[in-house]
Each structure stands twice: as structure tokens, then as C-alpha cells.
Amino acid sequence: MNSPVLEIRNLSKSYHRIRALDDFSLQVGRGEICGILGPNGSGKTTTLGILLDVLKPDRGEYLWFGQKPTYRTRKRVGALLEGPLFYSYLSAVRNLQIIADIKGVSYAGIGTVLETVGLGPRKSDKYKTYSLGMRQRLAIAAALLGNPDVLILDEPTNGLDPQGIADIRNLIIEIGSQGVTILLASHLLDEVQKICTHVVVLENGKKLSEGNVKEVLSASASYELAAADMEALKDVLEHAGYFAEIKMENGMWVCTLSKEIAADALNRLISEQGIFLTHLSLRKKSMEKYFLDILNAKNG
């Protein structure tokens, strides 16, 4: 990992008998988009609340940019927690001027952040005329005021229709491409897969897994293969050295990878043994499958 922007060390937090966080540790590198994934009540919002100094942990600590949180380090972090709160009778520009006053930052960046989130043409319109998706984009614009190094988003697509979800997803990816480190809490598996570079899975306050999204999804990818002589094909596959498991599904061999091999290289390897494939396709693991496998392993 590159130099960590955020280090979480053994955070624990309880509400009476409910353990919201249980010895949670995590590192987030510069420029990463890290998704905190888990069902409702898993500890996602509690984690973000602690990182923003809204909540105090019972135990543990966290560091921003290699140091304990201070007023100066907090100014480098923008956040969208809970629902956006703006004055309905004021324009986007005026609402952001109020936010800038609260943050103690210049008005100079307001036009830029409104353009970034696609609200430039509607900047003078009153907030009450905005759709839900536009309101969410304005909230992200508010979080971007002051040019933060880190953006924290709690369920940023919550309640949006499919088009609104796609718009916010593309906006987050665009912001991340500019070098902003993003910490995103969500229970939407598909969105985490499409947006995030890294993922950590929480359940009942405990960390179950973490890793690079591409790596964790490719680790258990599998190939579907078929040939005229299925038994001869199986023999070749068993001796190839690339598969952890080979099983029959719907008249095809489904082979779970133990190490990576490209489809063309696999096809060549098999053909060199005199077997010519009638079917070859890669079946990648989805975030949903990854998530459910982790929960099943933990509960089974």
C-alpha cells in the first residue's frame, strides 16, 4: 500500500449491550476508493461518525495523514453524513455560501464544485426546485468545498432511482480519478463493485474481510468449458495446474481458478493436447457472491 491517508486501530464502540464496532482496524491508501460494505446495523455509520469526531470510541484510535486528528487535519476531510440539509428557499450558490462560512473557506471554489457535480446551469435556482438526485449532488458539492484530500460518503445513492444512482456513481468515480481519497459506506453490493478500488466487509461491528476489489473478485473466478470428449477434457484440466475445483454443471466443466490464466492461453494449452473446445467462457465472481460467501463462511 502507498502511504496511508487513514489508519484505524482497534476501534470499539458499544451502545449499552449492543456492540456497534468490535476491534475494527483498517488502512486506506492515498487515492483509493474504499467501500465499507455491510448490512444495516453492521457498524458502517458508527465508523464514519467516529472518523468525523461526531462519536467517541470506547477504545482504539485513528490517524489522519499519519497523525492524530486535529482541527487542521479535519479541514482536509469533506463529508456527506445522513441526508443533505439545505434551506429550501435559497439557491444552490447561497446555500453553499452558508456552508463555506461554517467551514471557514473562501467562496471562490463554489462555482468550481457546482460545475464538478453538474449543477452549474441550475446554480441560481432555489433548492426546493431540485430533484432528489440534484439535492444529493449539491450535498456532494458542499462536501467538496475547501478542496479536501478525503471525501467521506455515507450511503450516497440511498433513495435514488436507477438514473440518479448512475449519475452519483459516475460523479464519485470522476472525483476519485482526480486523486481524492474516498471512503464510502454502502449496502448496495453492485455499486461498491462498480465504484470502489478496495472493499472491507463488516457484520455486527466485526471486520470479516478486506482487499482490492479486482483481486478479491478474480480470486475465485471460474471457466466454463466443453468439448466433444468431456472425459478427455477433464483429464487435461486436472493436470493443467490452474484449478482448485472442477465440477460438472449443465453439461459443462466449471473450473475454479487457483491461479490466473488468460482464456486464449488456456485454449492453446488444451488444444496442444489434441482437445478442441466447443465452449469456453470466463465466469467472474460478483460482489454479491463474494459478500454472501464471506457471511456463509462466518455463520457456517
Of all helices (H) and strands (E), which one includes residue 29?
Answer: strand 18-29
> Which residues, other chains included, contact 298 with Cβ-Cβ below 8 Å and sequence gap of 6+?
203, 208
In CATH terms, the fold of domain 4-210 is: Rossmann fold (3.40.50)
Average pLDDT, the chain: 89
pLDDT for position 297: 65
Domain residue spans of the chain: 4-210, 221-284
pLDDT for position 291: 72
Residue from 186, 107, 165 nearest 141 by CA: 107
Q: What is the mean pLDDT of residues 128-141?
A: 93
pLDDT for position 1: 56
Of all helices (H) and strands (E), which one includes residue 273?
Answer: none
pTM for this model (two decimals): 0.79
- 179 touches 19 (CB < 8 A): no
pLDDT in tens, 201-257: 888 899 988 888 877 776 667 899 999 999 999 999 999 998 888 999 999 999 988
Distance of CA 167 to the CA centre of its chain: 16
The answer, yes or no, to whether residue 134 has pLDDT greater than 90, is yes
pLDDT in tens, 15-24: 988 889 999 9
Q: Give the pairing of strands 181-186 and 150-154.
A: parallel
Cell 484505524, located at residue: 8
Question: Which architecture, in CATH terms, is 221-284?
Answer: 2-Layer Sandwich (3.30)
Q: Which amino acid is at 237?
A: L
